[in-house]
Amino acid sequence: MSTTATSAPLFGMHGVTVTFGGLTALADVDLDVEPGQVLGVIGPNGAGKTTLFNVACGFTRPDAGAITWRGEDVGRLRPHRLASLGIARTLQGLGLFDGMTVLDNVVAGADRWARSGFWSDLLALPRSTRDERDLRERAMAALSELGIAEHAARYPAAMPYGLRKRVALARALVAEPDLLMLDEPASGLSEEEMAELGELIAGLRSRMSVMLVEHHIDLVMSVCDQLVVLDFGRVIARGRPEEVRDDPAVLDAYLGVEVDTDSHPAPDAVTHLGEGPR
Amino acid sequence: MAAIKQVLAPSHATGRLLLGVVGIAVAVAVISMVGEFRATQLASMAYLGVAAAGLTLLTGLNGQLSLGHGALMAIGAYTAALLLPDADAGTPLPVVLLAAVAVTVLVGAVVGVAAARLHGPYLAGATLALAVAVPGLAIYFGDTLGGEQGLSVSVPDVPVWLADAIFFLTGTDPSRGRYVSYVAWVVLVIVLVVLANLARSRTGRRWRAVRDDEIAAQLVGIDLGRNRVLAFVVSAACAGLGGALMALAVRLTAPSGFTLTLSLTLVAAIVLGGLGTLTGAVIGAALLTFLPQVVTQFGGGIGLDDVQSAQLAPFVYGLVMVLVVLLAPAGLVGSLLRWRMRRAGRRTSAVLDGPPPSVPSGSDSSDSSDSEPSDDSPTSTQPTPRGAHS
Ligand SMILES: Nc1ncnc2c1ncn2[C@@H]1O[C@H](COP(=O)(O)OP(=O)(O)O)[C@@H](O)[C@H]1O
Ligand SMILES: [Mg+2]
């Protein structure tokens, strides 16, 4: 666990409010992600977790509030600027590029490391070729780290869900972000895969901060340094996992809502893909 | 591991260049050997191929359908015609071709900016409007652009060095028609090499990413609008180049040559050949050029009279389209690639994952039409145009 209470937070959201018509999806939410920290965002379905990520990535513009990166207000965030800031995100629905090989999917994730431009691509100048080789090596390294290097030449659509999830993760990791945002990374994984994922996330701490939205309480409890609990768009509790677990407000929010502790959802990948695209 | 070795191999840019040189040599040899009429046909194939190659990149790689590329060809053609009004004009052909590219790039940038904001049917509609409107302009500005009659195009003399070289190689002086055919094929080969470079580069990968998943593309740092406009501009440049070559080959530029049919013909060429593959674009252009004549001859062979034979062509043409769409929806080249890919996929998955995967392709969340990621929006399984590799 990192003890960086004195240094500036890496990423912060301050007073973020989002309304959809009459519905308040986020109400005055504050949170900070410290360098090297794994921050879990939990809450019942519809609590506003994905909306929080969408605000953080510039897909949803908040009605009020500010976002800071390394202590500076980023103003109006545009999603394609995130990668160059050092922020990567995986999507709840994976969003793999199905017309491209696994390797190309991951190379695409390494885009921020490329220097060559349109003209050198057009003329296939040595600069482009060098760049390309470098990106491929980075991508192969990321695939190896996730144990799927042998699938590099395949197309994701023909692969099992668990492998596809790893491809999506490799695509985010290859960017070597300072902040990695994971939206429900464990959904649809087997018990064993989930344990591996837990170890992987814990191991990322030395390289980056992680923001994790997850339903599997076991996983959240084991890997997160800090938790933020949302309910109806409000932060109802925050703190270390063991503090939050016993918080009466949290128990109350989850009352009547099935807390998915250890049983993993239906193994059928198709139903999983269908239930929430992002 | 073989897979790693294969994928880490240096890109084959030099190979493409060599292939291009060989391609030009073969094209020149073939054009010198065939008759005058065939040489003209080969020129048509080349200009259709240039425009179709650009379109297949736009539609197959970047997922933007344009029904207006015939109009962009018209812009290139009129530019060429204005620069070659009579025998005294003497504008060198490279200048003519570059001017055609420059003008269409400008128009393409404007149209591309509008197109980048439109999706699916709206984009098709807007480009369709372009296809209909541009020939009208030629009539409206009849004084400069020749109205219905159009402008005649005066092909410059064959340069002496080229005439000498051809005479040295073949023992005959090249006609102007043949000269245009040489030029058209050299341009086609250069365009193919350059577009293949692009398709395999980072730029091409970005275009594919935009096509496959807009949200994920943005998250890896790709500016959707910028890449869409760029793809449109590149594709427009090819259309303009194709149009200029067409003006040279036909020696006349008139609105009747740039009707909606031309735009649809280009779409037909890339669909027949296989969306997103450059080889497919060339095959499509060849089919469109030669099929009608072959069919007409065949009609004569089985005892039909001239009129009946001529009517057979569109019929067979339609039949081929229907058959390709039914039997090989990815187009001729696309289906071949897909078949190979499936075989390769089956082999690896049998070894590595046991039973075949249960996830049907195309059923995942990549939906190119939603712009806001939301947890609760329904998953659409809208098919995106899916190209393979050129
Ligand atoms: N684009 C949208 N338009 C309208 N309502 C939305 C939209 N996105 C989310 N919501 C609503 O906002 C609330 C929070 O949703 P969400 O952030 O997806 O929750 P979670 O990810 O925690 O399940 C829900 O009530 C949801 O229906
Ligand atoms: Mg969610």
Q: What is the pLDDT of residues B200-245, one digit of tens each?
A: 999 999 999 999 999 999 999 999 999 999 999 999 999 999 999 9
B271 against B171, higher pLDDT: B271
By Cβ distance, the residue of B224, B348, B365 closest to A277 is B365
Considering the domain boundaries, does residue A158 fall inside one? no
Tens of pLDDT, residues A91-121:
988 999 999 999 999 999 999 998 889 999 9
Q: What is the pTM assigned to this prediction?
A: 0.83
Most A-contacting residue of B223, B337, B348, B364 (CB-CB within 10 A), to test interface: B364
CA distances to A31, B76, B137, B342 from B83, in Å: 65, 11, 18, 50
Whether the CB-CB separation of A142 and A207 falls below 8 Å is answered with no
User: How many domains are contained in chain B?
Assistant: 1
CATH number of A265's domain: 3.40.50.300
Q: How far apart are the first and last CA of chain B?
A: 25
Whether the CB-CB separation of A106 and A149 falls below 8 Å is answered with no
Considering the domain boundaries, does residue B359 fall inside one? no
Considering the domain boundaries, does residue A192 fall inside one? yes
Give the residue from chain A lying closest to B367, CA to CA.
Answer: A95
User: How many domains are contained in chain A?
Assistant: 1
Tens of pLDDT, residues B159-168:
888 888 888 8
- CA B134 vs. chain centroid, Å, equals 19
Collapsing DSSP to helix, strand or coil, A24 comes out as strand
Structure tokens at B132: 């209909």
**Smallest CA separation from ligand 1 atom 25, residue:** A46
CATH number of B20's domain: 1.10.3470
Residues in chain A with CB shorter than 8 Å from the CB of B197 are 121-124
pLDDT bracket for residue B7 (50, 70, 90): very low
Structure tokens at A24: 């308040």
- Ligand 1 atom with least separation from CA of A21: 4
Considering the domain boundaries, does residue B26 fall inside one? yes
Q: What percent of chain B has pLDDT over 90?
A: 39
pLDDT bracket for residue A35 (50, 70, 90): very high
Considering the domain boundaries, does residue A240 fall inside one? yes
By Cβ distance, the residue of B365, B372, B386 closest to A93 is B365
Structure tokens at B240: 């303009």
Whether the CB-CB separation of A211 and A179 falls below 8 Å is answered with yes
Tens of pLDDT, residues B300-357:
777 777 777 777 776 777 777 777 767 776 777 777 777 776 666 554 443 333 333 3
With a cut of 80, say whether residue A70 has pLDDT above it.
yes
Whether the CB-CB separation of B382 and B367 falls below 8 Å is answered with yes
Nearest CA among B268, B212, B228, B206 for reference residue B52: B268
Nearest CA among A204, A153, A44 for reference residue B349: A153
With a cut of 90, say whether residue A255 has pLDDT above it.
no
Tens of pLDDT, residues A175-192:
999 999 999 999 888 888
Domain residues for the domain of B296 are: 7-342
The Cα–Cα gap between B57 and B276 comes to: 6
B42 against B139, higher pLDDT: B42
Tens of pLDDT, residues A211-250:
999 888 889 999 999 999 999 999 998 999 888 888 887 7
- Give DSSP secondary structure letters for B194-217: HHHHHHHSHHHHHHHHHHH-HHHH
Considering the domain boundaries, does residue A145 fall inside one? no
Considering the domain boundaries, does residue A112 fall inside one? no
**Smallest CA separation from ligand 1 atom 16, residue:** A48
Domain residues for the domain of A57 are: 33-86+177-278
Q: How far apart are the first and last CA of chain A?
A: 30
